[in-house]
Amino acid sequence: MPNLVDAWADAALAAHEARGHTRRLTPLSSPQGAVVSVGGRQVVNFSANDSLGLCADGRLAAAVKRGVDTHGVGAGASRLVVGDSEAHQALERALATFERTEAALLFNSGFAANTGLLPVLFGEGDVVFSDALNHASLVDGCRLSKARVVIYPHRDMGALARLLAEVPGRRRGVLTDTVFSMDGDVAPLAELRALCDASGAALVVDEAHATGVLGPRGAGACEAAGVRPDVLMGTLSKALGCVGAYVAGSAALRSWLVHDARPLVFSTALPPALCEAALAALHIVEAEPERRALLWDRVRQLTQGLTALGLPAHGASHIFSVVLGSPERAVLASQRLLERGLLVRPIRPPTVPVGTSRLRVSLSAAHSEAQVAALLDALAAVLPNHSRA
């Protein structure tokens, strides 16, 4: 008898192929960095979220080695069983200090954090107001919560104000990325805070792409805007170059999550050695503001260059998108850039809406001025008609 699952898989893959959405893994044969090895070639990497260039930093590697010597490799259990360690606790204390909150709680990923947090905060009878371009982890967290989900148009504060006035609920919350992962624009946080205060809603933010990058200390977009959310999620896997995530807020919230957040309760804890690496990364973020300065130099350079090419460039963060429309056009442009030694991955549905397939460029403090100039030259060659539009 044929394997039924294989038949289902074949049908699903054929549908992806017909839509131009076929995906393939692209293994690196080098450490993460501004230059990586792909298929035996050295290419400049504009696709990673390693915004401060810390993924392959020797100090993080040394911290992992020390952590393995002290704690071993695996955590061995969930934290509520016997997987907790002094390394977890020390990192959480440091993250709370960094975010200037009472407490912080680690999760194994940003996806785990959001899908653990939102079903604790909200449930049946509650309402969450979610930006239309929020990350998939927020979307799925809303679904799991079983609260009513009201989508407001991207960054549209007038529409959100009307919805907050019209839609009642037992508990109500406004959810937003601070830096949006595909377009790189920033949420209007001061306006969001004012609307939440006026309407009795909690402000819950995802700082994944802002942590380490925005704000005077690198604490994120909320710090940059002078806004205090009710709950904040940040990741250790992007600017901090490690793995994992955290929720920062009150001590009561932390205790509530320890009791009821399923991804925490039912997952083996992060390896303690990786907590040691994240703690080292956090110290680097705080001690070396010049890394952020270098990143913002590259942001300004790319913003000016894209504008000169006639391409949209907001300059609000280190993430840029060149929207090309069809999946085929985005894939072809990515291939042509790769031929020129530049790794810029195409982003297609369902990651982005149909008709908005794009090249996504993510800058790093490790990129040189010459590397960004090479990208601009290549975009002018690969997208001549687009750049003149």
What is the tens place of the pLDDT at every residue in 107-148? 999 999 999 999 999 999 999 999 999 999 999 999 999 999
Sequence-distant (6+) residues with CB within 8 A of 74 are 268, 271
Reported as a pLDDT band with limits 50, 70 and 90, residue 295 is very high
pLDDT score of 387: 46
Burial class (CB in 10 A: 0-12, 13-18, 19+), 194: middle
Token readout for 132 is 């239309």
Active site residue 238: yes
Active site residue 209: yes
71, 88, 135, 209: the catalytic one is: 209
Measured over the CA atoms of residue 154, residue 21, residue 242 and residue 110, the dihedral's sign is: positive
* Under 8 Å between Cβ of 194 and 160: no
85, 130, 137, 181: the catalytic one is: 181
Query: Which helix or strand (DSSP H or E) is residue 254 part of?
Result: helix 251-260
Radius of gyration of the chain (CA): 21
71, 135, 238, 318: the catalytic one is: 238
Domains of the chain, each with CATH number or no CATH: 58-287 (3.40.640.10), 289-388 (3.90.1150.10)
The answer to whether residue 332 scores a pLDDT higher than 80 is yes
The model's pTM: 0.95
The answer to whether residue 373 scores a pLDDT higher than 60 is yes
Query: Which helix or strand (DSSP H or E) is residue 203 part of?
Result: strand 202-206
Query: Which helix or strand (DSSP H or E) is residue 69 part of?
Result: helix 58-71
For 64, the 3-state DSSP assignment is helix
DSSP 8-class letter at 313: -
* Under 8 Å between Cβ of 279 and 63: yes
pLDDT score of 2: 75
Alpha-carbon distance values, 148 to 153, 169, 177 (Å): 16, 9, 19
The answer to whether residue 69 scores a pLDDT higher than 80 is yes
